Amino acid sequence: MTETLPSPASPLKIGTRGSPLALAQAHETRARLCAAFDLPEDAFEIVVIRTTGDNAALIAADKPLKEIGNKGLFTKEIEEQLLSGGIDIAVHSMKDMPVDQPEGLVLDAFLPREVPFDAFVSFGTASIDALAPGATVGTSSLRRRAQLLHRRPDLKVVEFRGNVQTRLKKLREGLAEATFLAMAGLNRLGLEDVPATPIPTEDMLPAVAQGAIGIERRSDDRRAARLLEAIHDAETARRLAAERSFLATLDGSCETPIAGLAELSGDSLRLRGEILRTDGSEALSDDVTGAVEDGPEIGRDMALRLLSKAGPDFFTRN
């Protein structure tokens, strides 16, 4: 690259949230950049930015996110710092990202995707089916809540917000018999001792983009673009193009139970999608295989089919 590389004297600033998982993702990004360009760690500065969503977790720990705002809760302040030049790139969990970026920003670099599965986590029960009738399960995810109640309408679901460590603490305190976490987060944090059982995607389809890390930059920053090209994973990008097209057509938000997963096999892409009523009383799904390059079109068409089946009141009537 012709642009000047970062150095300890002039480091590239990497913006992130401050949770252990967010920091692990920022550290992974830094490690990949260091390896790609043979640079020392201090050529990159990790900048922690507190978001509205982080503040809400402290102020209203038991209030559902849908009552506080949308997915921008976890990105707005970071993107403001990116636009103002306070940071050079921003590392995000892709399942938190709105499908549209603010003017002047692009999100076109992705790290290799971790496993997308949800994990059933309990200190006393082996699986969803093994839960006693009426048992309490904690989750803040509308998708997981709806999927669980669709399968086990007898269960009681309570709000369970916070980072991985906070939710595990609540579980140990007996506030719920079980909860769900993303296997990707547990793997990135090295939490092998957590009693987590991966849930097959046939039983619980994950959130769109679960397990994927995206790196956002200013659209006119050529240096950042060249740096990120070296660590970009094209397979992850192709999978997310289909999933996020599906999500965008559904106009998905944290107020809508939506699941989606794209998988590649050679030149073929398989996309599975699901939408649910918020109380779990009904679920609609679709499963399509096509050419990899047609991923965005497959995602859009699948969303339109599901919306046609659902009718206008599907997401609002329980």
| 3-state secondary structure at position 135 | coil
In degrees, rounded to 5, the angle at the alpha carbon of residue 146 between the alpha carbons of residues 142 and 148 is 120
- 286 in Cβ contact with 272 (< 8 Å): yes
User: In this structure, what token pair is assigned to residue 1?
Assistant: 């690259």
CB atoms within 10 A of CB 162: 16
* Given the residues 38, 54, 88, 96, the one annotated as active site: 96
The answer for residues whose C-beta is within 8 angstroms of residue 120's C-beta and 6 or more apart is: 127, 128, 178, 180, 196, 197, 199
For residues 224-243, one letter each, b for 16 or more C-beta atoms within 10 angstroms of the residue's C-beta and e for the rest, the string is: bbebbeebbbeebbbbbbbb
The answer for residues whose C-beta is within 8 angstroms of residue 104's C-beta and 6 or more apart is: 83, 218, 219, 220
| 3-state secondary structure at position 264 | strand
Place of tokens 């057509």: 249
Q: Is 154 among the catalytic positions? A: no
| 3-state secondary structure at position 63 | coil
d(CA 184, CA 177) in angstroms, rounded, equals 22
Which burial class, exposed, middle or buried, applies to 305 when counting CB atoms under 10 A from its CB (0-12, 13-18, 19+)?
middle
User: In this structure, what token pair is assigned to residue 163?
Assistant: 């980072």
User: In this structure, what token pair is assigned to residue 296?
Assistant: 């965005």
What does each C-alpha distance from 136 to 79, 152, 156, 271 come to in angstroms?
A: 37, 11, 5, 32
Tell me the catalytic residues.
Answer: 96
